[in-house]
Amino acid sequence: MAGSVRLGDLNTWYAEHGEGEPLVLLHPGGVDARAFGPNIDGLARRFRLFTPERRGHGHTPDLTGPITYEQMARDTIAFLESVVRTPAHLLGCSDGATVALLVALRRPDLVRRLVFVAGVYHRDGWEPGVVDPDRDPPAFLADMYAEVSPDGAGHHPIVARKLDRMHVEEPTLTAEDLRGVTSRTLVMLGDDDEVTLEHALALYRGLPDAELAVVPGTSHGLLVEKPDLCNRIILDFLTTEPVPTMAPIRRARFA
């Protein structure tokens, strides 16, 4: 099922798949919900999936003004309140991971468990050269945009510039901010990701209740590159309780 919902001034497009507990998938920046294509069937066997597309992405139009992580988090909160209408698990990838983290910080009552895939909590977490507003975006991003955007192909450069600005200036969360996340969180990334391993470790160590998965042989596209393995890791995290560990070090400090 697919449709749109009016949330303030924004007409947000989303689709639903499967049945069960709600799981909201937040796509990477510059693309849309089709990025989760290889993961949908496996996750929908266990969860009722919602795949909203954020402002200026996919079928959801852009609005006047900048695109920011905070604004997209507010849009997502409105979506959870108006459409999902119950606390949900959040899975965000890349920019979607940052949005999911902000939702968990701003509205912990709406977030059950959080899967943070290949994202950053601070703009300095990207590998050098990844964020480069002077570099032309890959052609496939413009092609994907043109296929479904209600704003038309000609609007893509405007959205691209807005995202470039956002990536240069945002996000700017701190280790102190991370301590405010109450959701149990899985931090996932590829072993050759656009996010530095050091940044992912800092996120994992900064969150009060976190687990870490580095998927071998993958890059920033880990969910597409090894969908079956990633789905197994995600489903295990979302459907089981933590096991007692024999020799905890980090977790012993939080016990």
Query: To 10 degrees, the CA torsion angle through 210, 178, 116, 102?
Result: 140
pLDDT of the residue at 255: 63
Q: What is the pLDDT of residue 1?
A: 84
Q: What is the pLDDT along the chain (255 residues), one digit of tens a residue?
A: 899 999 999 999 999 999 999 999 999 999 999 999 999 999 999 999 999 999 999 999 999 999 999 999 999 999 999 999 999 999 999 999 999 999 999 999 999 999 999 999 999 999 999 999 988 888 999 999 999 999 999 999 999 999 999 999 999 999 999 999 999 999 999 999 999 999 999 999 999 999 999 999 999 999 999 999 999 999 999 999 999 999 988 877 766
Alpha helix segments (H runs only) across 151-226:
156-169, 175-178, 197-206, 222-225
Tokens of 49: 């999936």
Secondary structure of residue 137 in the 3-state scheme: coil
Domains (range + CATH), the chain: 2-253 (3.40.50.1820)
> Cα(58)–Cα(124) distance, rounded to whole angstroms?
27
State the Rg of the chain over Cα: 17
